[in-house]
Structure 1
Amino acid sequence: MVDLMKLQNGSDVRGVAAEGVEGEAVNLTPDAVNLIGQAFVQWLSNRTGKEAKDIRIGVGHDSRITAEKMKEAFFQGLFTAGASVYDCGLVSTPSMFMTVVFPEFAFDGSVMITASHLPFNRNGLKFFNPDGGLEKSDITEILTIAKTLTPATSDRKAESCRSLDAYTKSLRKKICAGVNAEDYEHPLKGLHIVVDAGNGAGGFFVDQVLAPLGADTSGSQFLEPDGMFPNHIPNPENKQAMEAIRKAVLDNHADLGIIFDTDVDRMSAVLPDGSEVNRDAIIAMMAAILAKDYPGGTIVTDSVTSDRLTVFLEKELQMKHHRFKRGYKNVINECKRLNEEGILSPLAIETSGHGALSENYYLDDGAYMAVKLLIAAALAAKEGKALGSFIEKLEKGIDEREYRMKLTCEDFASYGQNVLAQFEERAKAAGYAVAPNSYEGVRISFDSEDVKGWMLLRLSLHDPLMPLNMEGVRPGDCDKMIAIVRELLNGFDKLEVI
């Protein structure tokens, strides 16, 4: 039996679910999934005070090749524990959360079978209850319960549930109300929008959201579910994926391109001229769209955002930039915390394309972000403006780089923390501007005639790696910063310095 605790990946469960990659043995087995299903019912029963027989759980999946096998194993676990089970089929992760919110379902919990953008052989489980996505501690608790159980089967059957229909209806209503067009039911008429679903679960956005609202969707691509992901990695951070949607926009002379990750909790976009709206740009775009409704609001981002983004948010939008830790649950929880303390924070968003709005249950929902983008595009078109005007004052990046330096020792976490402490101490001694409020790693800004830009050195949460992100304002600035890094990290023999 596999070690169930090793299947935890932060606030999700992830593992190898299929053979096919050398050196990667299957550890997310049907038996493991069965036990996790049983444990989830027990966890929900403990949390809600309901008996297992009264608990209702929805289950959906993306296009992965192991989806059906995993779903059946998970069903068996849920049935064995006594819960009622609803099969939502091929859906998006955000739509599964909505099954615990929408009154026509009101499930006690829901689960999405997905491993986001990871390779074909991987799969995983994302869990929701009415409070949102489960926390890391909740997953630890579920896996701890699962360790005490034994795999079992049942002859019960899941009830079919068309939850995606209700979800897409809510998205269409949001767009109609937001645009308030003269032709109310067709607010996207006259807009040419291409979608790249990367052969994941996002193809529904074309047929069930865009087309019914009047949009021209010709040129949309890779909408068919295919868990081998034959065209490109379904990941808005991937250069090949972004080039694919960029080419589709230019080739089809579209007004907007939208690209989703596998399970549609992330998105990025491309403007008519081929400009990519991802990383810092997608954060700037969403903030600019929200600025009017949330004046002076605080935008929570991950740690690797640029100084130029801070200037745009604070000087152009008159908002506040709160740079926090990497990890979508980290930025979401920080956004929640700020609002609970009375600090207006409408958006938690990572450069990866994970974006959660306070107005939408703090749910990282790529389709909802696309809806906000579409409303803005339609309203801008009414006024004869381009969507790109929202971020025209965001300074363009010149040279962005990321290095992942290996730590070659057993106790890499302690060694890495010492590296960070020494790195910061040496940087201050050299007179460099070290950010006083870094929640993750050490951030240095440069603004001299010799070098302009910023860098962030941090320690990976799970792996023996120290990622180094940097951005130069001028050609050659990054090369100069690399020389500074080597000087500041001199003598660390267990770190493979660039």
Structure 2
Amino acid sequence: MVLLLLLLLLLAVVRSYDLSYLKSGSDIRGTFSSASSADNSSSGQNLTPRISYSIGAALARTLPPSSSLLLGRDPRLSGPSLLNSFSLGLTTTQGLTTKTTNIATTPSIFQACLTGYADYGCIVTASHLPSDKNGFKIFDKHGPVSVERRDELLKVAGRIYDEIEGEEYENEGRGEGVDYMEVYVASLVDYVESSLGPKGLSGLKVLLNSGSGSGFYLNEVLGRCGADVSCSINLKPDGRFQNGPPNPEAKRMVTETIKACEKSSEVDLGIMLDTDGDRVGFITPGENGRFVPLNRNRFVAVMASILANNNEGGKEIVVVTDSVTSLGLEKFVNGLKNMRMVRFKKGYMNVINEAKRLCGEGVDAELAIETSGHSAFRGNSFMDDGTYSAIVVVCELARRRREAGGKGGSVMDWIEGLEEASFEEELRLQVLQPKETPTINIYERIEEAVKNDGRWKVDELNREGVRLVLEGEWGEGWFMLRPSLHDPVVSMQVECEVEKSKRLVGEVRNLIFAAVQDAVDFGELDGVE
């Protein structure tokens, strides 16, 4: 009987609610539910106020005494509830100072830590995911907290979750209300004025599509600096995202922004921001006055061209990119004067950390950038900031217009010579296996089958997944397979001649099907034309 009591006591001590399902890349994300009973639902993806309170309390327990924190959120309807319960969890530890800035961008929270306004920051956001999702990104002065620290935080939060009694997590949160976004906006205005002088963007007409997300603040920056922003769209934050969450890679947002540019006369540049303002894409006048997207490989090429154009010292500059960049992009960047591209891994923190590592070795890695629209300049403390990148492009456009005597010219002109494949697509294979078989296990079987087929050459310089080089009968190009960072998905990135694309995808499909049988859904691959 004594042994039984000791065993029960031990179990009570070590009991911990498993919150590992909230891991998503380097962030914390789940599906919002207001009901505490949903914490234990079979879906295993719920994020509730009780869990939010537990994460806030866990963070408080792991911080130094007398730390200050800045909290913000994107416009999602679940944001106020999660922000409130998170801030209430923070109050379980005495001595912490909490400030709340309401709707904000992710980069602004990082900037607050970087400048010493707060020691730590947290924004409640799920970036480009659907409106029913939400989560947390936590920062210190070095940037987002590490994956290891995030994992430990969830373990502590799991223990706290089981300690909670009553409904204290539903009480009113505490913390001083501040308007940090005004500080952030002022810093971007200062950047423009130091580069071009007051009203330095006068003469430019810029259309911002913030997609009803947090990035509407950029419109104020552009307007205060003299740009005509009367044509901007979707500026009112609305967490329902009735047209879909803002995502500069999404064809829907690209098409919507192109139509808005066409409707308004003489737009010099269109800007698209994602939900929390850390990713960006562009729309620019192209040939025959038609507007074209400047995202993905073009986005990287534009940023590299700006660095090359302003490289007065003549030193070699390195641009660190992700694993799915094109052959044409690599040739373009390496062809710029004193420029070199290093292809690394998907994941914005992966490219940022690799750039930092290279800088530590004495390499001038000035830019860490993903084709998804994430970009971080060394001169901006490697802060992942889509709004800052947008300002860099707009300033460069204004500067080149001045040098040309006020004459026109498109951003597309900066990347003249960039070779682009006639077929370029990312296809997603939904993994259907049960939870006990991880996606990575399915992927490993796929990779082995494709590598051993022998019809394609393995790219040995690739740093993740498997990238196969096409040649001979397949023409020039490549395709790549990798497991998703966030979802039970295997991604297939393809770049080849359009007349070869359907056959190539069909052959790879057959190989994958033979390797994993009914473990993946090929619906999206079947639709390739």
User: Which residue in 2 is equivalent to 1:308?
Assistant: 328
- Residues 34 and 75 in structure 1, CA contact (< 8 A), matched pair in contact too: yes
1:219 aligns with 2:234: no
1:258 aligns with 2:277: no
- Residues 452 and 477 in structure 1, CA contact (< 8 A), matched pair in contact too: no
User: Which residue in 1 is equivalent to 2:12?
Assistant: none
Q: Which residues of 2 match residues 478-497 of structure 1 at below 5 A?
A: 478-486=501-509, 488-489=511-512, 491-494=514-517, 495-496=519-520
1:362 aligns with 2:382: yes
User: Which residue in 1 is equivalent to 2:373?
Assistant: 353
Structure-2 change in CA distance of 1:353 and 1:433 (3 Å): same
- Residues 189 and 225 in structure 2, CA contact (< 8 A), matched pair in contact too: yes
Gaps of 5+ in 2: 1-15, 36-40
User: Which residue in 2 is equivalent to 1:271?
Assistant: 284
Per the normalisation by structure 2, the TM-score is 0.85
User: Which residue in 2 is equivalent to 1:86?
Assistant: 99
Distance 2:493 2:126 in 1: 25
User: Which residue in 1 is equivalent to 2:58?
Assistant: 39
- Residues 124 and 135 in structure 2, CA contact (< 8 A), matched pair in contact too: yes
Which of 445, 458, 471 lines up with 1:434 in the alignment?
A: 458
Distance 2:463 2:318 in 1: 16
Distance 2:344 2:361 in 1: 17
Which of 167, 181, 187 lines up with 1:164 in the alignment?
A: 181
Which of 195, 199, 221 lines up with 2:208 in the alignment?
A: 195
Distance 1:2 1:242 in 2: 42
Distance 2:19 2:277 in 1: 27
Deviation at 1:484, TM superposition (A): 4.1
Q: Secondary structure at the match of 1:202?
A: helix
What is the identity, as a one-letter code, of the residue corresponding to 2:56?
A: G
Which of 483, 486, 510 lines up with 1:459 in the alignment?
A: 483
1:378 aligns with 2:398: yes
Alpha-carbon displacement from aligned partner over 1:302-332 (angstroms, at most 9, x marks no partner): 1111111111111245422211111111111
Distance 2:368 2:242 in 1: 32
1:416 aligns with 2:443: yes
User: Which residue in 1 is equivalent to 2:23?
Assistant: 8
Deviation at 1:388, TM superposition (A): 2.1
Structure label with greater radius of gyration: 2
Alpha-carbon displacement from aligned partner over 1:136-182 (angstroms, at most 9, x marks no partner): 11101111121222344677731122211111111111111222xxx
Distance 1:241 1:423 in 2: 34
Q: Secondary structure at the match of 1:364?
A: coil
Which of 478, 498, 510 lines up with 1:475 in the alignment?
A: 498
Alpha-carbon displacement from aligned partner over 1:229-280 (angstroms, at most 9, x marks no partner): 1234300111010111111112113110001001000010111241101011
Alpha-carbon displacement from aligned partner over 1:415-447 (angstroms, at most 9, x marks no partner): 4223313422323xx4x3321111111112224
- Residues 267 and 366 in structure 1, CA contact (< 8 A), matched pair in contact too: yes
Structure-2 change in CA distance of 1:138 and 1:216 (3 Å): same
Deviation at 1:391, TM superposition (A): 1.0
Distance 1:321 1:140 in 2: 32
Q: Which residues of 2 match residues 282-321 of structure 1 at below 5 A?
A: 282-294=299-311, 295-321=315-341
Deviation at 1:28, TM superposition (A): 0.9
Worse overlay, 271-280 or 452-461: 452-461
Which of 310, 334, 342 lines up with 2:362 in the alignment?
A: 342
- Residues 2 and 32 in structure 1, CA contact (< 8 A), matched pair in contact too: no
Deviation at 1:102, TM superposition (A): 2.3
Deviation at 1:131, TM superposition (A): 1.1
Deviation at 1:298, TM superposition (A): 1.7
Distance 2:174 2:505 in 1: 59
Q: Secondary structure at the match of 2:159?
A: coil
Identity %: 33
What is the identity, as a one-letter code, of the residue corresponding to 1:38?
A: A
Worse overlay, 434-443 or 381-390: 381-390
Q: How many residues align?
A: 480
- Residues 467 and 481 in structure 2, CA contact (< 8 A), matched pair in contact too: yes
Which of 426, 433, 446 lines up with 2:470 in the alignment?
A: 446
Worse overlay, 296-305 or 446-455: 446-455
Distance 1:250 1:155 in 2: 47
Deviation at 1:31, TM superposition (A): 0.9
- Residues 260 and 268 in structure 1, CA contact (< 8 A), matched pair in contact too: yes
Distance 1:187 1:397 in 2: 37
Q: Which runs of 4+ in 1 moved over 6 A?
A: 22-26
Structure-2 change in CA distance of 1:259 and 1:412 (3 Å): closer
- Residues 402 and 470 in structure 1, CA contact (< 8 A), matched pair in contact too: yes
Gaps of 5+ in 1: 46-50
Q: Secondary structure at the match of 1:81?
A: coil
Deviation at 1:215, TM superposition (A): 0.8
1:246 aligns with 2:258: yes
User: Which residue in 1 is equivalent to 2:10?
Assistant: none
Distance 1:471 1:137 in 2: 35
- Residues 302 and 415 in structure 2, CA contact (< 8 A), matched pair in contact too: yes
Distance 1:62 1:461 in 2: 22
